[in-house]
């Protein structure tokens, strides 16, 4: 029931990077999705990559190895998103 679970969002500076991140992660990280950025978060490109919170760290590490650095990472706590420091 992935759709109802809490998600983490990776924001990038361009749609190209979002789709490149999706390409790198899709074989390794289950249940990723390209989604519109919620209106309470500012975004440069209007879409973000959604991942399961428990896979967030693995996703970030994998992307860093590919030279893709998320601009911001948000995790949903309750009804609000909070920015997470990306390592």
Partner 1 sequence: MKETKRIIYFDNSATSFPKAPGVPEAVADFLRNVGANPGRSGHSQSIAAARILFEARESLCRLFGIKDSRRLILTSGATEAINLALQGLLPQGFRVLTTPLEHNAVMRPLRYLERTKEGEIVLLPIDERGNPDFATLRREIGKGLNLIVVNHACNVTGQIVPLREISKLKGEVPLLADVAQTAGCYPVEVESDGIDLLAFTGHKSLLGPPGTGGLYIAEGIEIEPLIRGGTGSNSENEEQPDFFPDRFESGTRNSAGMAGLLAATEFIMKETVESIMSKEKKLGARLRATLSAIEGVTVYGDGAAERLDNICSITLKGVDPTEVSRILDREYRIMTRPGLQCAPAAHKYIGTFPTGTIRFSPGYFNTAEEVDLAVEAVEEIVRRFHRANG
Which of residues 13 and 57 has its CB atom nearest to partner 1 in the complex? 13
CA-angle at 14, arms to 10 and 16, nearest 5°: 95
- Strand locations in the chain (E): 8-11, 33-36, 47-51, 72-77, 80-84
Pairwise CA distance, residues 65 & 78, whole Å? 31
Which of residues 20 and 75 has its CB atom nearest to partner 1 in the complex? 20
Minimum distance of partner 1 from residue 5's CB (angstroms): 20
SS3 84: strand
Minimum distance of partner 1 from residue 43's CB (angstroms): 9
Q: Which residues bind partner 1 (CB under 8 A)?
A: 13-17, 19-20, 23, 34-37, 42, 44-47, 67
Minimum distance of partner 1 from residue 6's CB (angstroms): 19
Which of residues 29 and 49 has its CB atom nearest to partner 1 in the complex? 49
């Amino acid at each position: 029931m992935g759709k109802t679970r809490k998600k983490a969002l990776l924001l990038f500076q361009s749609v190209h990077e979002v789709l490149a991140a999706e390409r790198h992660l899709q074989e390794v990280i289950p249940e990723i999705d390209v989604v519109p950025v919620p209106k309470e978060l500012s975004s440069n490109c209007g879409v973000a990559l959604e991942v399961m919170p428990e896979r967030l760290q693995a996703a970030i590490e994998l992307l860093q190895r590919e030279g893709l650095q998320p601009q911001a990472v948000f995790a949903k706590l309750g009804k609000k998103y909070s920015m997470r420091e990306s390592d």
